Structure formats: C-alpha cells, structure tokens
Structure 1
Amino acid sequence: MHSSFVSAMPRITIALNEKDHRALKLLSLRDKRRLSELIDEAIKIYLTSTGGYGLSISEANSEPTDRGQRPNG
C-alpha cells in the first residue's frame, strides 16, 4: 500500500551546490533521516512561512520569471 502512494507523488530533480549537498547529507546521517525527508520538511516550512499553501491560480503572477526569481520592481 505504501509503495503505490509514493509512486503517485510527483517527482522533481534539483541541483544543489556541493556545500549545500554535503551539509544536508551530514544532517541526514546525524539525524538518521533520509535526505528526501529533510528536503520535504524544508519545503513545507518555506511554503507555510510564505503563505504558499494559501495561494490559488488567480493569485499567481501572470508574468513568468526565470528560474523562480521574483521580477524586478
């Protein structure tokens, strides 16, 4: 049952610089948690603190930005 739930989740690939990757890997070893758990937790904290969970399509910026950066102005 668990594996079917995991396979239904969208997957992404991210690129990390060496310093961030090493720090996350060391934290995962220290805390005996999977790297994906740490990243998932960090994303949830960010979405909660920025109000991301409350956004809707109509509130999204209509102008696309490069690589998630905010537009100037």
Structure 2
Amino acid sequence: MQSQLRRTRDGRWMGGVCAGIAKQYGWDVNLVRLVFVLVSLLGTLGIGVLVYLVMWAMIPLEDSSATPRW
C-alpha cells in the first residue's frame, strides 16, 4: 500500500506542500521549490500560485487524522 501525500511539519517554509512532495517521492526539497518557482513565474503567468494554494488547502498535514479541507 502506497502512503498518502501529506504536507510536512519539518523543513517547510510556507505550507509544506513542496516539502511534502519532495518527501513522498524522495526528491531534494530545494529542487522541488526551484522548479515550482520557475514554472509559476515563467511558464504559466502565475497560475502556479493558485495551484499551490489549492494544494495547501486539500493536502492534509503530516501526523494529522483530519481529512482534507475541501
């Protein structure tokens, strides 16, 4: 059974979305943040910020039994 994606409490800067993605897939968190910033600013005219906010609201916190807020 594969673990569910969760926002992390450790190593997060804002909401823990990028850190949670990096932890889930075993990637470097700074690389995930860099890719997110580049895509948000250069590729999609800022739509990445909206995607981040939606992910922040929907992905539950680590060690939390609460369901996603949606």
Name the TM-score, length of structure 1 as normaliser.
Answer: 0.34
Higher helix share: 1
Higher relative contact order (CA 8 A, sep 6+): 2
- Structure number with larger C-alpha Rg: 1
Q: Provide the TM-score with structure 2 as the length reference.
A: 0.35
